[in-house]
C-alpha cells in the first residue's frame, strides 16, 4: 500500500489543482454569459494562432456548436474540481481493504479522481493549443513580459502524474492487477463497437 507521506504529498498537489478548477468553473457559471460569449472568444483566439490544425478543428467542430461546448466546459470544470477535491480528501484518510467498512465508497472516490485527472489533462492540452503555444515550450523573446511556461502547459504532466498515482492506489484498493483492468477496458470498448455496428449498418442501407 502507498505510504502515508506519499499520499499526503499527492493529496496536497491534487487539492491545489482541484481548487483551480472549482474557481475556474464557478467564474464561468456565475458570469451567466460564458456559453453565449464563447464564440467571440474563439474567433479572437483563432486570429494569428500558429496551430493551424487546431484552428481548423475549432472552426469545424467547436465553433458551430459553441453554446453547447460552453455549457459542457463550465459543467465539466466544476465536476473535475469536485472529483479531485473528494479524491484528495480520500487520499489523506486510511486505505481500507476489500470487505472493510466504506471500502466501496473509497474506491468510487479514488476512481472518480483517476478519471478526473485525465479529463483535466485533456482540457488543459486544448487550452494550451488555443493560446497558440507549441507542443514543447521554447525560448521566445517576444514573450519577455509573460511567463515562460504557462499554467496550461504545466497542468497536463502534473495531471498525468496524479493519474498514475491514483490509478496505483485504485489497483491496490481493488486488489486487481493492471492487466485485468486493461482487459476490462478492452472488452468494454469492444462491446461498445459491436453495439454500434448494427446501427451503422442500418444507416448505410
Q: Does the global pTM surpass 0.85? A: no
Span between the terminal Cα atoms of the chain, in Å: 55
Q: Show the cell assigned to 16.
A: 491545489
Task: Map residue 24 onto helix, strand or coil.
Answer: helix
| pLDDT reported for residue 19 | 95
pLDDT at 141: 64
In the chain (205 residues long), the average pLDDT of successive 10-residue segments reads 86 95 94 93 88 90 93 95 95 84 89 94 89 67 62 85 92 78 73 65 48
Asked whether the beta carbons of 119 and 76 are under 8 A apart, the reply is: yes
| pLDDT confidence of residue 40 | 93
Beta strands in the chain (DSSP E): none
Measure the CA–CA gap between 176 and 58, rounded to whole angstroms: 40
Amino acid at each position: 500500500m502507498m505510504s502515508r507521506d506519499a499520499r499526503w504529498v499527492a493529496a496536497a498537489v491534487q487539492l491545489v489543482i482541484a481548487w483551480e478548477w472549482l474557481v475556474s468553473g464557478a467564474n464561468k457559471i456565475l458570469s451567466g454569459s460564458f456559453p453565449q460569449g464563447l464564440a467571440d472568444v474563439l474567433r479572437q483566439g483563432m486570429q494569428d494562432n500558429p496551430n493551424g490544425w487546431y484552428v481548423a478543428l475549432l472552426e469545424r467542430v467547436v465553433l458551430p456548436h459553441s453554446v453547447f461546448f460552453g455549457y459542457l466546459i463550465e459543467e465539466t470544470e466544476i465536476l473535475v474540481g469536485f472529483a479531485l477535491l473528494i479524491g484528495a480528501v480520500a487520499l489523506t484518510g486510511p486505505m481500507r481493504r476489500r470487505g472493510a467498512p466504506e471500502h466501496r465508497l473509497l474506491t468510487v472516490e479514488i476512481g472518480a479522481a483517476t478519471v478526473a485527472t485525465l479529463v483535466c489533462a485533456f482540457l488543459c492540452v486544448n487550452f494550451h493549443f488555443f493560446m497558440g503555444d507549441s507542443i514543447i515550450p521554447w525560448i521566445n523573446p517576444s514573450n519577455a513580459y509573460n511567463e515562460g511556461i504557462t499554467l496550461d502547459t504545466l497542468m497536463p504532466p502534473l495531471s498525468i502524474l496524479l493519474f498514475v498515482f491514483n490509478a496505483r492506489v485504485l489497483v491496490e484498493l481493488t486488489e486487481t492487477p493492471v492487466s485485468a483492468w486493461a482487459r476490462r477496458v478492452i472488452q468494454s470498448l469492444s462491446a461498445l463497437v459491436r453495439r454500434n455496428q448494427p446501427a451503422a449498418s442500418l444507416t448505410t442501407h
